[in-house]
Chains A and B, each alone.
Chain A
């Protein structure tokens, strides 16, 4: 009852014409930012902070504007994933796996509608979770020490074998390359630079956005040039947007499961939306009866990761508000905004500044409904932005990639690096090596290593410390099962049908 009264107060503050207008603007801008490759939610929000200050916004309108942008970007990321095979932001990476094949088969409108609804379900459930469970869930972060985090990342890598490729060895190779790249930079445990060759730009390591834009967008451009546009992602046609209710209804469980997994991943600091959408996708794939349709345009493969990443976006607000620990890059920027507005997130925020918290939650709910409207019936507006002729789009993608990266890091070195990643992505495509594991390696490698080294420091080098808590053991079991089960099951299940899709002649 208390919660509802608080929520009513929140709506009272947030539901003014002025804040509603800001929410509309935020949602619209956010969706565009999300859809443009290279510009993700974190730089979108970061770009808008100075604007909101120069508009002279007070705390609550500023929060409404920026959280609308945040949620909007999480919705928008899927559009270019589905239509261009280029993730608009890093959590939308998993949506390319089934979304783009769907679009190629002529189901682009279905993919957009399903992912739009999935985004709504994920974000809505996460906001409700944020409302009722925040104080309790804040405690979860205290249960995760270095050993538990390491096991969590192990789980992610162990289940990685199957994605994007039918060849586990190639996926493992790609993940190893990603992990190798993540080693570049200052080593946190000794403070020593590694693989930097005296180059100062490498001290911070390789920014994963540089790698994503290079491996996806720039590689796509190379591929387009090489094939003269045949069978390239760029320029998928989109017909009329219709809602296929039957197909939508068939993905309901995928959406619910994806939301649950994404929400939990969001709560854990450092795991974030990318891991949320990844685990949601893997769960869906491993629990499906017919795994072979995944990666070839299975609607569940679109619904689950989209619900997962949007739920993670909501979940990530919990540690940010209750502990001041950002669960993702974007919440780190939002945290900065709160601090500048003289609001210090922490265990006392909910009791000391209830008006801030509840108007934020109310505005999240409002933004969510607006985004559903913008992203399902009105999705064509955004598609128009992306579906220009290829002679415009190709230089456009190139330009967006370069401008996006330059605005992010302000260094020409990173643009060169991005081109290098583009060449790498093009080569990998030739060799049929998936690029998603490379990104995951870069994204999670540092955190994984840091946690393992921290665990070793804490335990004085005793490796059994990694298996010392029930949570850690549970995660390890899941990881081992996740790694072994697919190989085992493949042998059992695949006997009757034809083995041709496996390409198993070489091994």
Chain B
């Protein structure tokens, strides 16, 4: 008994020694374990350790709340100069920033490092649906918007909803308020409503519904990426069908605003290396992600444009004034 106690005490001191001797790198996932942000953090953390990009243990902290708002406030308010922390982000982060859902905080209060992959958006219908092409679906909405309901995995105003609105807008149907959309808890949930015939179409990210596409329960009308997605080569892109829309649920990170330019450069460099690593290519292939790498200044421009577009649509549907 005494032996175990002293062994415990020893390991405790050893642990303490470890944590104080070197600053641990930390990745904040602004959600509970299991979502996309948690995935981004854990995969990047693993790759940083495996490839020796980080000599220390990379610790993943889950900080759920307000759709990422709690983590955002925390970073802006309390970690503004911490060079050892990075935070997972995705299109949901910019969507919420655009809709002023982070208690008045704006995108320029942090520094955007980059995105290293994306989950392409996809539009699917039930296997027995009369719609054969994206054009069929768009025509049906134009003819009678109240006859076509879309299901998606995000709330109204969320990214899945915006995908539908942006798609229809570019196809020449601008009356965003007339589009019927119901938000469910995640893509798989939205699929069950579409397979069950309660809604006529569904939008989501390809990774969350790939099983249903391959099993034939649903038919994909279009994938919203620049090029066809490996493994789903028979799904045409929206661009091929004449609608110029790319909607990727990107996986990226931001860091605090107050760090030095050298530290920021270190982060862009690290992220580029993670993006180029073999491990990341493998992770992307296994999880249905497509390459989508934008780093540094390029990414900051993308974030600003993205936010401008979402702000405009959100105003149109009355989400913000």
Contacts and interface: CB of A to CB of B under 8 A. Distances in A.
B60 interface: yes
Contacts of A141: 192, 196
B158 A191 contact: yes
Contact of A336 (B35, B157, B183, B198): B35
Given A145-B196, A346-B215, A457-B180, A204 B208 contact: no
Contacts of A337: 34
A247 interface: no
B199 A458 contact: yes
Contact of B195 (A142, A332, A340, A460): A142
Given A142-B196, A346-B211, A191 B99 contact: yes
B217 interface: yes
Contacts of A348: 211, 214-215
Given A342-B286, A345-B211, A191 B157 contact: yes
Nearest to A346: B211
B189 interface: yes
Given A46-B33, A332-B34, A411-B65, A186 B211 contact: no
Interface in A356-381: none
B158 A204 contact: no
Interface stretch (A195-203, A299-307, A489-497): A195-203
B156 A188 contact: yes
B249 to A, nearest CB: 15
Interface string B69-81: 1100100000000
B64 interface: yes
Interface residues of A, number: 49
Nearest to A334: B34
Given A325-B189, A457-B181, A339 B212 contact: no
A335 interface: yes
B287 interface: yes
Contacts of B176: none
A409 B65 contact: yes
A340 B69 CA distance: 24
Nearest to A343: B286
B192 A146 contact: no
Q: Which 5 A-B pairs have the closest CB atoms?
A: A346-B211, A336-B34, A191-B157, A145-B198, A347-B215
Contacts of B158: 191
B210 A346 contact: yes
Given A50-B60, A188-B156, A200-B73, A146 B210 contact: no
A109 B155 CA distance: 48
A189 interface: yes
A42 to B, nearest CB: 9
A332 B32 CA distance: 10
Q: Assign chain B's interface to a size class.
A: 35 or more
A191 B198 contact: no
Nearest to A320: B188
A200 B70 contact: yes
A333 interface: yes
Interface string A178-200: 00000000101111110000101
Contacts of B235: none
Contacts of A458: 149, 180, 182, 198-199
B18 to A, nearest CB: 14
A291 interface: no
B277 interface: no
B198 A146 contact: yes
A137 B73 CA distance: 44
A418 to B, nearest CB: 15
B34 A339 contact: yes
B252 to A, nearest CB: 19
Nearest to A47: B33
B156 A189 contact: yes
A145 B193 contact: yes
Contacts of B70: 200-201, 410-411
Nearest to B69: A200
A346 B39 CA distance: 19
A189 B102 CA distance: 19
29 contacts: A46-B32, A142-B195, A144-B192, A146-B182, A146-B193, A186-B155, A190-B157, A191-B156, A191-B319, A198-B103, A200-B103, A201-B65, A203-B101, A204-B66, A204-B67, A325-B188, A325-B192, A336-B33, A336-B38, A339-B34, A339-B39, A340-B42, A344-B207, A346-B210, A347-B212, A457-B180, A457-B182, A458-B199, A460-B146
Contacts of A345: 211
B112 to A, nearest CB: 21
B149 A457 contact: yes
Given A325-B188, A342-B286, A188 B196 contact: no
B243 interface: no
A337 B103 CA distance: 32
A454 B199 CA distance: 10
A49 interface: yes
Contacts of B102: 200
A269 interface: yes
A331 B208 CA distance: 16
Contacts of A201: 65-66, 70
Interface in A139-170: 141-146
Interface string A258-282: 0000000000011000000000000
A349 interface: yes
Contacts of A457: 149, 180-182
A325 B186 contact: yes
Contacts of A335: 34
A325 B193 CA distance: 12
A324 B211 contact: yes
A323 interface: yes
A204 B102 CA distance: 12
B155 to A, nearest CB: 4
B163 to A, nearest CB: 15
B63 interface: yes
A345 B212 CA distance: 10
A204 B215 contact: no
A411 B211 CA distance: 37
Given A203-B101, A409-B64, 12 more contacts: A49-B33, A53-B42, A145-B193, A145-B197, A190-B156, A333-B32, A335-B34, A337-B34, A347-B212, A409-B65, A450-B183, A457-B149
A316 B70 CA distance: 30
